[in-house]
Chains A and B, each alone.
Chain A
Amino acid sequence: MDTPLIIQTISLKKFYGAGETQVIALAGIDLEIHQGELVAVMGPSGSGKSTLLNILACLDQPSEGHYYLNGTDVSSLNRTELAFIRSSKLGMVFQSYNLLPRLTALENVMLPLFYRRENRLSPAQNRERAIAALDIVGLSGRTHHYPNQLSGGQQQRVAIARALINNPVLILADEPTGNLDSHASAEIMELFQQLHEQGRTILIVTHEHEVADQTERILTLRDGALVSDHSNGKSRKSERPSSQPAVEVPHELS
């Protein structure tokens, strides 16, 4: 492929414990994901998909092997350095949304800007940015609502806007539709499709085939190993922006 590599892992291993009781969570994963891909990771519980996600999300470190994120080896960084990487390069979406209940939708979206270290913007610019991000997920009319005033699907959209706010090179979603009904799930997947079409790199961990089927590439894990990696046949748009994706209002929603 001609597009740059976002994720590259080289015999990534993760062990828990030591000696006879040692558990091998990841048995050596070699994975390459390019910019603009929409990838699903599947596998039964205990297959190691959560461990893989934690390492890809820079929340955990591999026991062995290397993980290059956007060209940087992040496998042996300390906690603070990992936090910088999370802040500048990653966007996370969780199954249970993880919105702070005492903050409005807008404030929740702005939360990652709080921990940003480089290219800090003025409060007014931050607000503008957050409003633009909420606009992308179709919630520009809900900026001052609190999470408990929003439906599950809307909360997850706020969470996705939050993941977009720092303009990350990679969006990681952990069972993003796990708490949603089928209608809301479809909406969320449609949103991921749109982001994908804008050139975002997205990795979704899921156990739902309906979700995985809407991606272009499905990775299957079993017992800590990658057992299959097949293209979904569902072709993505051939035209992808070559520049870094930016938070801007897509024409479909404007």
Chain B
Amino acid sequence: MNFLEIFKESWRSLKANKLRSLLTTLGVIIGVAAVIVMIAISAGTEATIAESIYSLGSNLVFISSSFSRVGPNQGPQPQQGGLVYDDVAAIREKVKGVTGATVDQQASVTVRYNSTTLDGVTLIGTTPDYPTVRGLEVASGRYFNETELERAQKVAVLGKTIAQNLFGESDPIGQSIMVNKTRLTVIGVMAEKGLVGGTDFDQLIYTPIKVVFQKFTPSQFARFMGDRVRQITVSVDPKANLDDVVQQINLLLATRHGVTLDSPDFSIRTQADIVKAREETTQTFRNLLIWVASVSLIVGGIGIMNIMLVSVSERTREIGLRQALGATPWDIHLQFLTEALMLSLVGGVIGMLAGIGGSFLFGKLSEMRTVIVPSAIGLAFGSAALVGIFFGFLPARRAAMLDPIVALRHE
């Protein structure tokens, strides 16, 4: 007896009960499809996260001041020490492999132009290489330059949405806007960027950071503390070794701030770190989904076991006959195991197609993105096969253990 014959024989038995076989495999179909769709959704979510983080610009390193919370409702405050504005220039000059370093300091402001007033707008003080590092483009006019930065000239570049809200269809360039009590001249409008990593770049007003230091730092105390910044963004040459650059920055800043690397007053994260951190937050959710999918696969397996047990008891006489005609217990075992395996594999194939189709449809019809992962298809299909073998074992064993005399007498 060879495997081809066993397969043919099993196929014939399953075909004899088409509807029942199909219904039995439904559990496996749903399980396999669910595993594939769930993994496609979580892979899609991860791809979206990674993309949004990398669209900030490529090969970035983020240096942040370490914060300590001082009392309730006061928000994060820079510790004694922390990053200062001059660190940016130092990094630019002294660290090899750095193509740009920028900084931003934000303030929530009220903006007024003619009769239009916008509250709670984010004013972002940066350096001239900010658009390069962050991958932003100027749509009209220009960004401010080094001279304007150094002289703290009161100029502003508007995010697209802000420009539309304040000026509508008219040209904002050359106009003056009131930001809190300071008058800024609009010199450019940024191209549309959209929501990236939780920040809507179209809702920002860009200005030289020294303007923010001088006019928009919240308290006299903070001003006294010096030109502190929360975050420095460094772009790294793609050819440079990222770890090496991070190490250089670590050493440089530790020396400048007079702290040890064991207790730094800053922290450095690469984009990969951020992607990983974000993925970890979706991990739990993804695991839950995969568990649910696995449970349905197991339920499918129990369905197969159930129907195989029914099949064994229905075909007791047939089993007895086969034994009488020379089938060994192993022949019988193999035949029923093959039938169970076939049920689960047929379910696996249908489930695979349903899962691929479902992932595709889900991606088209919903807001969520799906990425079909080939290894997930393999995993789901393999699990289906394992389920078939595992849950087919008991019924097959029961069939093989039947006493031919009793089985032949069975009505």
Contacts and interface: CB of A to CB of B under 8 A. Distances in A.
Interface of A: 54, 57, 59-60, 79-80, 83-84, 86-88, 92, 94, 98, 100, 102-103, 111-112, 114-116, 162, 166
A229 B318 CA distance: 35
Interface in B176-194: none
A83 B328 contact: yes
17 contacts: A60-B405, A80-B329, A80-B330, A83-B328, A86-B323, A87-B326, A98-B324, A100-B321, A102-B12, A103-B12, A111-B322, A114-B5, A114-B327, A115-B1, A115-B326, A115-B328, A116-B326
Interface in B328-356: 328-331
Contacts of B1: 114-115
Contacts of A166: 326
A88 B326 contact: yes
Nearest to B400: A79
Given A59-B404, A98-B317, A83 B12 contact: no
B268 interface: no
B329 A115 contact: no
Nearest to B335: A114
Given A100-B321, A102-B12, 6 more contacts: A86-B326, A102-B16, A114-B1, A114-B5, A114-B327, A116-B326
Contacts of A80: 328-330
Contacts of B327: 83, 87, 114-115
For chain B, the bracket of interface size reads 20 to 34
Contact of B329 (A57, A59, A79): A79
B interface majority secondary structure: helix
Nearest to B16: A102
A94 B408 CA distance: 9
Which of B1, B9, B13, B330 lies at the interface centre, i.e. has the most chain A CB atoms within 10 A of its CB? Answer: B1
A63 B298 CA distance: 45
A92 B324 contact: yes
A103 B325 CA distance: 15
Contacts of A115: 1, 322, 325-328, 331
Nearest to B411: A96
A86 B408 contact: no
From A60, A88, A98, residue with most partner B Cβ within 10 Å: A98
A59 B328 contact: no
Contacts of A162: 325
Contacts of A102: 12-13, 16
A59 B322 contact: no
A172 to B, nearest CB: 10
Name the residue among B5, B12, B322, B328 with the largest chain A CB count within 10 angstroms. Answer: B328
A51 B330 CA distance: 25
Contacts of B328: 79-80, 83-84, 115
B329 A112 contact: no
Contacts of B330: 80
A98 B326 contact: no
A101 to B, nearest CB: 9
Q: Which 8 pairs show the lowest CB-CB distances between chains A and B?
A: A87-B326, A115-B326, A83-B328, A112-B325, A80-B328, A98-B321, A86-B326, A59-B404
A84 B329 CA distance: 11
